[in-house]
């Protein structure tokens, strides 16, 4: 989202420039592509640039100081302009590894805890096939837990992570891009259990829930295992 900002600058020589207008996300040139931290995406009003150059031309300001002054604006505005959201998924992940955590991980912490609870419960049920003989996965198929389709995709074991385990939290939090698409299709989420085992009663309720008012089914009954809850 483009944003406008007004800040007061003070040059190294002590001169003040008030109400200098900056924008982020309005325009940029491919010719001068660079990281956001080095100015990418930021614009400044032309009169302010001209005034600043004038102080340099008059010998009141060093060119290097003027450059530093403008570059520092990026740090000042980075958060309020929402720059982090524009960083690449690769950079976000690299910085998270370097810093031992990040804002994305913090935002995902409670979802991760919820994910772990859901997966642990799926696994518990998977170990009790007599109590939970039916299963459904992400593609809305209904199976028995003995079905080959289910057995093929279910993991051999289950690793119980804690919600504050840094590496699994990172793998979970950085698994999707800004559009909610998986960054790496072949990567599974930590502790992922792809099927939800259900009791007969739960399976019947689930079938009702996923049946339209005119009797149309939103789920598929597997032809191989032909489940009859």
Residues found near Zn ion in the complex (CB under 5 A):
96, 102, 104-105, 143, 147, 149, 170, 222, 224-225
Considering beta carbons, is residue 66 or 105 the nearer one to Zn ion? 105
* Shortest distance, position 123 Cβ to Zn ion, whole Å: 19
Beta-carbon contacts of residue 61 (< 8 Å; ≥ 6 apart): 11, 12, 13, 15, 52, 55
Comparing CB distances to Zn ion, the nearer of 59 and 100 is 100
Closest CA to 127 of 137, 135, 139, 115: 135
CB of 140 to Zn ion, least distance (A): 12
DSSP code of residue 220: E
Q: How far is the CB of 104 from Zn ion (least distance, A)?
A: 5
Q: Which is nearer to Zn ion, 70 or 225 (CB)?
A: 225
How many beta carbons lie within 10 A of that of residue 85, not counting itself? 12
For 197, residues 6+ apart whose C-beta sits below 8 A from its C-beta are 122, 125, 126, 128, 129, 132, 133, 134, 135, 145
Minimal distance, residue 117 CB to Zn ion, in Å: 21
Residue among 39 and 129 whose Cβ is closer to Zn ion: 129
């Amino acid at each position: 989202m483009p944003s406008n900002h007004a800040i007061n600058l003070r040059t190294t020589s002590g001169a003040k420039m008030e109400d200098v207008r900056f924008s982020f996300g309005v325009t940029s040139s491919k010719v001068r592509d660079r990281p956001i931290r080095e100015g990418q995406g930021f614009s400044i009003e032309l009169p302010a640039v001209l005034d600043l150059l004038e102080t340099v031309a008059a010998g009141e300001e060093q060119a290097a100081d003027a450059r530093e002054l403008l570059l520092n604006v990026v740090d000042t505005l980075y958060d309020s302009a929402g720059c982090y959201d524009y960083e690449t998924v690769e950079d976000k992940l690299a910085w998270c590894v370097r810093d031992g955590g990040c804002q994305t991980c913090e935002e995902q912490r409670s979802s991760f805890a919820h994910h772990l609870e859901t997966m642990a419960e799926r696994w518990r049920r998977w170990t009790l096939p007599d109590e939970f003989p039916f299963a459904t996965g992400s593609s809305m198929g209904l199976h028995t837990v003995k079905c080959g389709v289910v057995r093929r995709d279910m993991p051999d074991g289950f690793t119980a992570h804690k919600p504050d385990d840094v590496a699994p939290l990172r793998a979970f939090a950085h698994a999707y891009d800004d559009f909610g698409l998986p960054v790496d299709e072949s990567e599974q989420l930590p502790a992922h259990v792809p099927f939800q085992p259900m009791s007969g009663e739960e399976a019947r309720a689930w079938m009702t829930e996923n049946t339209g008012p005119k009797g149309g089914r939103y789920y598929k009954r597997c032809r191989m295992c032909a489940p009859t809850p």
